[in-house]
Structure 1
Amino acid sequence: MKRKITFLFVLFITFQFSFSQTDLDHYKYVIIPTTYDFCTEPDQYQLNSLTKFLFEKQGFIALMNDEPLPNDLINNGCLALWADVLNESSIFVTKFRVELKNCQKQVVYTSGVGQSREKKYKVAYNLSLREAFESFDTLNYSYNPKISEQKAVSANTEKSTAIAPSVIGVAQSDSKSNGADMDQPLTARKIDVINYELLNSKGEVVYKLIFSGKEEFYMVEGMQATVYKLNDKWVIAKTIADGSLQVQTLNVTF
């Protein structure tokens, strides 16, 4: 009986490890906030800078959320994970976990606990974060794009100059994608301080926009799509069935 339990436990751990590794390998970028919720100022105790450094050490392309975004990330916000540090400290022990969420705000990975009994915040935070990152060492991260992303990159490389002018600002080939007529006026309604819903004339929610941390740049919940401002117009960029990228103008009022 003990052997069976041990075997099942090892099998479960192996499965969890394999899933986490494969899952993270599909993401190219990690976006780090300039300030964590438990801090009172940007990069306090150099914690955010250290987070960026440690992700880069693991092989990720790490960006602060106030940095300019690469073109492929603008076109497909789901290439990135959003990092956060969870503070689980008690009175005498500093405890951190590192959490990663995808473009739909789903938790993809949570590290083990890193802890320190040092009394000085700067030292304790540094040691705890570094220890939490030891969980990533076992994942052997290496970016491995999904097949659909590879097709999109290939298509964009071959046709970028020819396609872009005719697609941007014209919603013809897929004018009612996701139930939305691109010529139909949409109204933005705040969900909270930073996120929005786009409503059609019937008051129906067409898109939910999740703030990316970059001004005038949003992820679309439940889709491989982003909404952002281009040449003073709001556009939606999305990956369609054949893996290629489609950019269309939105008639939206914020």
Structure 2
Amino acid sequence: MKNYLNTFILFVLVSLTSLVFGQKSINNYKYVIVPDSYDFVEGKDRYQLNSLTKFLFNKYGFTAFMITDSLPEDLFDNRCLALYADAEKLPGKLFKTEVKILLKDCYGQLVHESEIGSTKEKMFEKAYNYAIRNAFESFEFINYKYQPISENANAQIVVNEKPKGDNQDVSASEIVKKSTEIGKVSEIKTEEKAISPEIIEETTYYAQTTADGYRIIDNEPKLIMILLRTAKENTFTVKDKNAIVYLDNGFWYYSEISEGKTLKKVLNLKFYD
């Protein structure tokens, strides 16, 4: 009962702090994406810890997916609709396992972290399971409910400025790019037309078919990355990276979120079996 009361008090204090400083609410995110592995254990979904995390998020009212699941269409259009989960094992205490759950936005900024879940169970499989379950008890007080941010609450997007020395109007694709950078893609209705990218990766990479997607290699041949299929055609997640590779208007793009910034380039990609 004492632990329950302490948890409630802590939640109230965290909530008040968020209101005072005007931080973005956890309710402003539509999905939670759970990775298929954690750093403190080897292998995908080891001890089914990642599946357990997904289950517990859904239990407490979130809409959670594993990164390898079929993901919603709107999430491909705007990755910032989701929070990205992780489980962190705290530095060792003798005879005690401690874990906390982290939720970060698409820029890698911490939005929420759970209380520390702990257990004195000695077997690793049970210890991590119990610790994660205990950490999730603090989510009971969140009462999560998705609340989209109104367009008026977003930062202003300037769409009529022109690059210096360029007399052309800003294209529709540039408007979408600007709105994506503040975490929301505006609904822009315009006639679709193919736009050739200005910069294409000079190095040619080759895609070898695998059971789950493709291996991308260079001329040496050296392994560059591994692509994993998603539910969306011609869109792949990059193994062990917060990145995707996708086809758009006849060009292959690599898009990665690193240190809070979205890095994007066009790949010179050729496919063969």
TM-score where L is the length of structure 2:
0.57
Unpaired segments ≥5 residues, structure 1: 1-8, 171-181, 190-210, 219-225, 238-249
Q: Which runs of 5+ in 2 are unaligned?
A: 1-9, 155-183, 204-226, 239-243, 256-264
CA contact (8 A) 2:28 2:147 kept: yes
Q: Give structure 1 regions of 4+ aligned residues with deviation exceeding 2 angstroms.
A: 9-14, 16-22, 148-156, 166-170, 186-189, 211-218, 226-237, 250-254
Query: Is 2:77 aligned against 1:75?
Result: yes
Report the counterpart of residue 219 of structure 2 in structure 1. none
CA contact (8 A) 1:21 1:141 kept: no
What is the alpha-carbon distance in structure 1 between the residues aligned to residue 22 and residue 135 of structure 2?
16
Structure of higher RCO (CA pairs closer than 8 Å, 6+ residues apart): 1
List aligned pairs for 1:43-122, cutoff 5 A. Answer: 43-88=45-90, 89-122=92-125
Which of the residues 178, 188, 194 maps onto 1:169?
Answer: 194
Q: Identity of aligned pairs, percent?
A: 37
Contact 1:185 1:252 in 2 (8 A): no
Distance 1:149 1:63 in 2: 29
Whether the 8 Å contact between 1:96 and 1:128 is mirrored in structure 2 is: yes
Q: What CA distance in whole angstroms lies between the structure 1 residues aligned with 2:70 and 2:78?
A: 14
Say whether the 8 Å CA contact 2:253–2:267 is kept in structure 1: no
Question: 1:14 and 1:120, CA in 2 relative to 1: closer, same or farther beyond 3 A?
Answer: same
Report deviation, 1:132: 0.5
CA drift of 1:13 comes to 4.3
* Alpha-carbon distance between aligned partners in 2 of 1:101 and 1:36, rounded to the nearest angstrom: 15
* Distance in structure 2 (CA, Å) of the matches to 1:102 and 1:31: 10
Correspondence list, 1:186-205, <5 A = 186-187=200-201
CA distance in 1: counterparts of 2:80 and 2:36, whole angstroms: 20
CA contact (8 A) 2:54 2:64 kept: yes
Q: State whether residues 59 and 141 of structure 1, in contact with CA within 8 Å, keep that contact through their aligned partners in structure 2.
A: yes
TM-score if structure 1 supplies the norm length? 0.61
Aligned pairs, how many? 189
**Deviations 1:140-188 (CA, angstroms, capped at 9, x unpaired):** 11000111399989958xx6xxx5xx32634xxxxxxxxxxx6412438
TM-fit CA distance, 1:228: 3.1
Distance 1:10 1:72 in 2: 31
**1:214-240 deviations in Å (ceiling 9; x for gaps):** 66458xxxxxxx873247523699xxx
Q: 2:127 maps to what in 1?
A: 124
Q: Is the 8 A contact 1:114 1:128 kept in 2?
A: yes
